[in-house]
Structure formats: structure tokens, C-alpha cells
Structure 1
Amino acid sequence: MSSFFQRQLADYVQYHRAPWNCAMHVFGIVFLFLAAVLPLSRWPIAAFGIQTSVAAIATIPVLIYWFLLDFALGAAILGAAIVLLSAAAIIVAQANTVGMWSLTAVLIVIGSASQVIGHQVFERRRPALVDNPIHLLLGPMFVMAKLFIVLGFRRDLAIIIDERQQGPLSSS
């Protein structure tokens, strides 16, 4: 884990102390990722002799970034991204254009609302990305780090997250 990632994660945790805010982020991040890749999944493309979609190609830079921040978390996010990209491919294969755009709009509204409600209602603080736009890319890393900790892995992450989450809103 890079020192840059440690600092960014520690800063991100300060905006995500309330357990309900963290739970809302799990759904919000998944819905927003799916909303972002859904329309791009409609455009097939051949890359390196492999048939794929613009969505898969568009995720490569951010996946590389996550791998560079932390290889294990990046690998886990890659697995989640494959599942979500596969779900998007299935959806676009079954839905017409209006249905796909309607679902995209619903996912954006629900995903964004869960983020806003999580911060406004449970955290009583504005979203982290308002103060530091790079936090937009740290959300998936934070969610995956929390999952690793719950499963008993990555004590180094637990130290950063649990130590920083000790605040007035961290009680369950």
C-alpha cells in the first residue's frame, strides 16, 4: 500500500464515519458504476483481437489506478467490475434503447440520492469529493477495504480505517 493511498484513505475516512453512510455508499457506488457503464456497453469494439465494449475499455484507466494504489484491493475491484460489466452486457442485450436509458437515469438518481442522503442525514457533512475531487475514485477502494476488514483481511487497512472512524457518529 502506497503512502499516497494511506493519506488519501485516512482523509476519505474522515467523511465516512457513520455506519449508515458507509452502507448507503455501497449501493450508491455500485449503482453509479453500473449507470456509467450501461450506455457504453451498447457500443461493441474489437480491441487486440477481442470483441468487447467501449465500457470495458473505458474502465481500464481507473482499474490501473486502483491497482497502483493497492494491488489486492484493485484485484478485488476488478472482479466486481467484471460482474458489473457482465450485468450491463446482459441488460443491453435484453433492453431496447429507451429501456436502457430509463434504467440508467433511475440508477443515477438512486445512486446519487444514496450518496447525498448518506452525507446529509447520517454524516451531517458535505461529500468528500466536494473538498477533494480525487475522492470520487477512492469510494470503491474504501468500500472494498471495508469488505476486506470485515472478512478478517488487511489489518493494515483496519488500523487506518478503524482508527480514523472513532468519532461521535461511529457508534452502531
Structure 2
Amino acid sequence: MAASPFRPAIDLMAQYASYHRDRRNIVTHFVGIPLIVFAIGVLLARAELSVGGVSLTAAWVLWGLSTAWYLTRGNLVLGLAVSLANGVLMALAEPLAAGTLSSWLSFGLGSFVLGWVIQFIGHYYEGKKPAFVDDLVGLLVGPMFVVGEALFSLGWGREFLREIERRAGPTHLRDLAHPAA
């Protein structure tokens, strides 16, 4: 049974990080996760919904719901940053929905498949399955993790990062020639 999706950001990030300690895996996530988010934006941007007399695409509705979730995980800076990053990806994806059916599906499905291939390459280096296999909330935490890692590399959240590493361990490069048993 999966834990509550409404845990604080630190708990979500530490759990996700425990599946992502190999630096090569983390790097692949910087490409794979944005591609997947972008692909979802492309695929959902074609579905128009009317909410309170305002026409929105399903992509923007999903963005709004996910933003509400990110902003309520107890870390406002991280919530705002991941929401902004996802919003940029949705904005870039939306024009592709206006193309022909074949171009829309090619961009949407192509980006989705490519993103997942890159993710699974990363998990080969990690030697572990993706986090979402054990907890579907990992699908929402992935973008938060990538944005968090980017912020950490810029010097933000040193205490936050220390707590994640205390719980999940430091990053490393797994020895592929002599993997641990």
C-alpha cells in the first residue's frame, strides 16, 4: 500500500531520492522528466474544457491541479519553482496541439516514449526500478526532484539537501563492472 500523496516535500523528496543516488541517473532525469511533462502537455492540449465560462485545455487544468498539490507540500520556493517549470513546458507544448493529427501525435507520443527511454537508461545505471513502481506519487515527485536538484546546484536549500542526503545517502557513481549484490 502506498503512503499518502499529501506528505511534506522533504518526505517525498527523500523517498524519491532513495531511488536516485547514481549521478548518471539524476542527469538522465534532467532530460527525461521534462520530455515526459512536455509530452503530456502536447497530448492534453488538444482537449478543450470550459470551466466557469473560460475555455482551458486539459493540459492547463492538469497544470493547475498539480500546482495546487506542489504549493501545499510545505516548501513554497520549491512548489513555485516546479510549478513555473511545468508551466513553461505546458506553454511550449500547447502550440503543437494545433498541428495536424499526425504531427500532434508524433510530438506527443514521440516525446513521451523518448522521455521514458531516457529514464530507463538512467535506472540501468542506478540498478533500481523507478520510484513510481512502488508509489505512483513518484510521477508527481519526479518534476519536483529535478527542479529541486537544479535549485540545489545553484546553492538553494542547503539544509533541505542535507536532510535528503541524511535519509537517502549521498550521490555516487555505481560500479557497473562490480555491482553490489
TM-score band, normalised by the shorter chain? 0.7 to 0.9
Indicate yes or no: 2:146 matched with 1:143.
yes
User: Contact between 2:10 and 2:164, CA under 8 Å: does it hold in 1?
Assistant: no
> Aligned partner of 1:117: which letter?
I
Q: Is the 8 A contact 1:16 1:165 kept in 2?
A: no
Q: Secondary structure at the match of 2:72?
A: helix
**TM-fit CA distance, 1:132:** 2.0
The whole-number CA distance in structure 1 between the counterparts of 2:129 and 2:48 is: 38
Residue 17 in 1 paired to residue 17 in 2? no
Per-residue deviation, 1:169: 3.1
In structure 1, the residue corresponding to 2:56 is in which secondary structure? strand
Q: For residue 88 of structure 2, what is the aligned residue in structure 1?
A: 83
Number of residue pairs matched? 168
**1:82-108: CA deviations, max 9, x gaps?**
211111122223x21111101112112
For residues 54-111 of structure 1, the C-alpha deviation after alignment (integer angstroms, 9 at most, x for no partner) is 2101222221111111221111112112211111122223x21111101112112111
Q: How big is the alpha-carbon RMSD for the aligned residues of Structure 1 and Structure 2?
A: 2.2
- For residues 3 and 44 of structure 1, the distance between their equivalents in structure 2, rounded to whole angstroms, comes to 32
Task: Compare 125-134 and 18-27 and name the one that shifted more.
Answer: 125-134
Residue of structure 1 in register with 2:100 after alignment: 96
Name the CA shift for 1:119/1:51 in 2 (closer, same or farther; >3 Å): same
Residue 155 of structure 2, aligned match among 149, 152, 157? 152
Unpaired runs of 5+ in structure 2? Answer: 1-5, 176-181
TM-score normalised by the chain length of structure 1? 0.86
Partner of 1:110: 114
Trace 1:15-94 onto structure 2 (pairs within 5 A).
Answer: 15-69=19-73, 70-93=75-98
Q: Identify the structure with the greater helix proportion.
A: 1
In structure 2, distance between residues paired with 1:99 and 1:3: 39
Q: What is the aligned partner in structure 1 of residue 127 from structure 2?
A: 124
CA 1:152 to 1:168, structure 2 compared with 1: closer, same or farther past 3 Å?
closer
Query: Does the CA contact (< 8 Å) of 1:9 and 1:160 recur in 2?
Result: no
1:18 is aligned with what amino acid?
D
Work out whether residues 145 and 157 of structure 1, in 8 Å CA contact, stay in contact via their aligned partners in 2: no
For 1:72 and 1:139, the matched residues in 2 are separated by: 16
Say if 1:56 and 1:85, in contact at 8 Å, map to a contact too. Answer: yes
| TM-score relative to the length of structure 2 | 0.82
Structure 2 Cα separation of the partners of residues 118 and 30 of structure 1: 14
Once the two structures are aligned, what percentage of the paired residues are identical?
27
